[in-house]
Amino acid sequence: MAGLEGRGQPWGHAHAAAARWSPAVEDEHALKALELYGNPTEAEVPLPSRPESAATARRLTQVVVLRHWGLTPKTTEDAVLLVSELVGNAVRHTGARVFGLRLHRRRGWIRAEVRDPSRGLPCLMPVQEMDVSGRGLFLVDKLADRWGVDLLPRGKTTWFEMRVPDR
């Protein structure tokens, strides 16, 4: 059945895996990530520089923004996406073995920070409609209220901030 296979698996296997996903299962994964890695609102959470760490960072962000801070699903969705983009850049472009994730909340704002040992600055590139990569900082620039990079003696912190309603 050509065309019904994806990622090297017959359609039935991929379909069965997708059918097991649910918000409750994702919540469980998010809480497990919090237990395993720590709370990024209390201290910087070190994560290995591997592609699968983007999923861990998304889950940590989801559980903090939605559950702990009680913000809207839309704010949570945007924060999760932008954290994923910053983590993806750290994994792909820095050569780091480990990076750090930190989340902050103050009146009217949330802030996410990804720290890595590279002093190479991220670059916002023009994006064309058909581009399949290079959209990470473009999304951060469009969805965050502000973002930037703080150079450190050893590395940098790339961050974004979003306005949020006060409780």
Q: How many CB atoms lie within 10 A of CB 122?
A: 19
Q: Is the pTM for the entire model greater than 0.85?
A: no
Quick: pLDDT tens for 86-141.
999 999 888 889 999 999 999 999 999 999 999 998 877 776 665 555 567 888 99
Quick: pLDDT tens for 23-77.
678 778 888 999 999 999 999 999 999 999 999 999 999 999 988 999 999 999 9
Angle CA(158)–CA(103)–CA(74) in degrees, nearest 5?
Answer: 95
Identify the burial level of 132 via C-beta atoms within 10 angstroms of its C-beta, where 0-12 means exposed, 13-18 middle and 19 or more buried. exposed
Instruction: For 108, list phi and psi in degrees, rounded to 5.
Output: 80, 0
Q: Residue 67: its pLDDT value, please?
A: 87
Instruction: For 124, list phi and psi in degrees, rounded to 5.
Output: -80, 115
Q: How far is CA 13 from CA 23, 25, 45, 53, 127, in A?
A: 20, 18, 34, 24, 35
Instruction: For 73, list phi and psi in degrees, rounded to 5.
Output: -55, -35
The strand pairing partners of 106, in sequence order, are: 109
CA distance 116 to 101: 9
The strand pairing partners of 51, in sequence order, are: none
Q: What is the 3-state secondary structure (H, E, C) of 150-164?
A: EEECCEEEEEEEEEC
Q: Return the H-helix or E-strand segment holding 105.
A: strand 98-106
Is 4's pLDDT higher than 70? no
Q: Residue 25: its pLDDT value, please?
A: 80
CA distance 116 to 46: 10
For the chain, helix (H) and strand (E) counts, in that order, are 5, 5
